[in-house]
C-alpha cells in the first residue's frame, strides 16, 4: 500500500486568492476525468494565498520543499511568485493575461523554460464589456471603470475601454480601488460623476468579497459588468470573459501531458476559444432595468 501511494502523482494547485470561493471544482472535475482523483489515483493539494503576498511566498517555499510532480498555478500573482522562486517543478497556469509581457514565457508558441498554460487578453475584453453595457442599457453615455491596479491586465483593459468609448462618444470615469475599505467611496464617487453603469475589474481581495461589491452596486443603483461568472451569481448584473470550464479543462489537459513526460517548453500556451456572457435578471429587476430580449438571447446563462 505504501508503495502504491508513493507512485501516485502529486499535483499542487496554487491560487493567489481564495480558491474555495471560485469555480475550482471545475478544475478538480477535469483532472478526475483524466484519471487524477484525489486520494485514489493522485494526491492533489489545494493552496490559497488569500490575497496576501507573504502567505503566497510561504506557500511557494512549501512547494519548493514538497517537490510535486506538477503545479497548476491560478492567476498571475501565483505564477509570478513561482517564477521568482525558480523552482524545478513544471508549472501549468490559467487565468493569466499576457504571459509574454509579464516575462513568464518567451512566446506563446515556444514558451521555453518550465511554464506553459492558458492565457487570454484582458485588453481585448475591455472594449467588448463596454459594448455589452451599451447594448444592454439603452441611452448609456457615461460609464465608470472601477478597478484594482494590483491585478495584471486591468490597466490594459482600461485603455481598451477608453479607446472603445472614444469611438462611441461615451465618457469614462476611472476610479482606482486599492483596498476594501475604499470600495464604498469608489461607488459614491461614481454616482457623483453621474455615470449610468460601471465596468468592475476585480483582484483577489475584491473577488473574495464579491457579494459586498454586488450589494454596493445595487445600493447605488449602478448596473455593473464583471469579468467572471461567480461575480454575477453573487449579485452583479452581468459578466463577460473566457469560459471558466474551458480554461480549467485545458489547464488539466496540459498538466496531464506534463505528467506523462512532455516538457512545458514543448507545449504552446493556449488561447480560449469560448467566451461566456452571463446575466442576472434578479439584479436587473432590482435595478429597475428591462434588458432587451434580443440581448438575453445572446447570453450563455441567464440567472432568474
pLDDT, residue 203, reads 84
Q: What is the pLDDT of residue 3?
A: 39
- Residues 60, 93 share a domain: yes
The answer to whether 72 and 27 have CB atoms below 8 angstroms apart is: yes
Range of the domain at 191: 122-242+276-303
Residues 147 and 8 in one domain: no
Note whether 157 and 22 are same-domain residues. no
Q: What is the pLDDT of residue 273?
A: 93
Same domain, 116 and 126: no
Residues 294 and 155 in one domain: yes
Residues 280 and 269 in one domain: no
Same domain, 149 and 263: no
Task: Name 138's Cβ contacts closer than 8 Å, sequence gap at least 6.
Answer: 292
Angle at 35 between CA 29 and CA 36, to 5 degrees: 65
Using CA atoms, how far residue 154 sits from 126, 150, 162, 212, 222, in Å, is 9, 8, 12, 20, 20
Provide the domain count of the chain.
2
Count CA within 13 A, CB hemisphere, residue 36.
Answer: 26
Q: CA-CA distances (angstroms) from residue 296 to 21, 65, 246, 280?
A: 27, 50, 22, 10
Q: Which of 160, 237, 228, 205 is nearest to 24 (CA)?
A: 228
Asked if residue 107 and residue 208 are part of one domain, the reply reads no
Q: Are 92 and 264 in contact (CB under 8 A)?
A: yes
Instruction: Say whether both 248 and 116 belong to one domain.
Output: yes
Task: List 70's β-bridge partners, or say none.
Answer: 11
Tens place of pLDDT for every residue, the chain, 304 residues? 343 445 899 999 999 999 998 899 999 999 999 999 999 999 999 999 998 999 999 999 999 999 999 999 999 999 999 999 999 999 999 999 899 999 999 999 999 999 999 998 877 889 999 999 999 999 999 999 999 988 878 888 999 999 999 999 999 999 999 888 999 999 999 999 999 999 999 888 888 889 999 999 999 999 999 999 999 999 999 999 999 999 999 999 999 999 999 999 999 999 999 999 999 999 999 999 999 999 999 999 999 9
Residues 183 and 280 in one domain: yes
218 vs 214: CA distance, rounded Å: 6
- What is the CB-side half-sphere exposure of residue 52 using CA atoms within 13 A? 9
For residue 238, the model assigns a pLDDT of 98
Check residue 122 and give its pLDDT: 78
Q: What is the pLDDT of residue 6?
A: 52
Do residues 13 and 131 share a domain? Answer: no
| pLDDT of the residue at 178 | 86
Query: Do 71 and 210 share a domain, yes or no?
Result: no
Residue 298 maps to which CATH number? 3.40.50.2300
Amino acid at each position: 500500500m505504501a508503495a502504491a501511494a508513493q507512485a501516485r502523482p502529486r499535483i499542487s494547485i496554487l491560487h493567489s486568492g481564495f480558491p474555495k470561493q471560485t469555480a475550482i471544482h471545475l478544475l478538480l472535475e477535469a483532472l478526475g476525468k483524466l484519471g487524477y482523483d484525489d486520494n485514489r489515483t493522485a494526491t492533489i493539494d489545494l493552496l490559497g494565498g488569500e490575497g496576501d503576498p507573504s502567505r503566497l511566498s510561504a506557500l511557494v517555499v512549501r512547494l519548493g520543499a514538497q517537490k510535486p510532480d506538477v503545479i497548476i498555478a491560478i492567476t498571475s500573482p501565483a505564477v509570478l511568485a513561482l517564477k521568482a522562486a525558480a523552482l524545478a517543478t513544471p508549472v501549468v497556469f490559467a487565468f493569466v493575461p499576457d504571459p509574454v509581457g509579464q516575462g513568464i514565457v518567451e512566446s506563446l508558441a515556444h514558451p521555453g523554460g518550465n511554464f506553459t498554460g492558458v492565457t487570454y487578453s484582458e485588453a481585448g475584453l475591455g472594449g467588448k464589456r463596454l459594448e455589452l453595457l451599451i447594448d444592454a442599457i439603452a441611452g448609456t453615455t457615461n460609464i465608470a471603470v472601477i478597478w484594482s491596479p494590483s491585478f495584471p491586465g486591468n490597466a490594459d483593459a482600461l485603455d481598451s475601454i477608453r479607446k472603445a468609448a472614444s469611438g462611441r462618444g461615451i465618457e469614462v470615469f476611472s476610479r482606482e480601488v486599492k483596498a476594501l475599505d475604499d470600495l464604498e467611496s469608489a461607488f459614491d464617487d461614481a454616482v457623483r460623476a453621474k455615470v449610468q453603469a460601471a465596468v468592475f475589474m476585480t483582484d483577489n481581495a475584491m473577488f473574495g468579497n464579491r457579494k459586498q461589491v454586488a450589494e454596493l452596486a445595487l445600493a447605488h443603483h449602478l448596473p455593473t459588468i464583471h469579468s467572471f461568472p461567480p461575480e454575477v451569481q453573487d449579485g452583479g448584473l452581468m459578466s463577460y470573459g473566457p469560459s471558466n470550464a474551458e480554461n480549467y479543462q485545458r489547464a488539466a489537459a496540459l498538466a496531464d501531458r506534463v505528467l506523462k513526460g512532455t516538457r512545458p517548453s514543448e507545449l504552446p500556451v493556449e488561447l480560449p476559444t469560448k467566451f461566456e456572457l452571463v446575466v442576472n435578471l434578479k439584479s436587473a429587476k432590482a435595478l429597475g432595468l428591462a434588458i432587451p430580449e434580443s440581448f438575453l438571447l445572446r447570453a450563455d446563462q441567464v440567472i432568474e
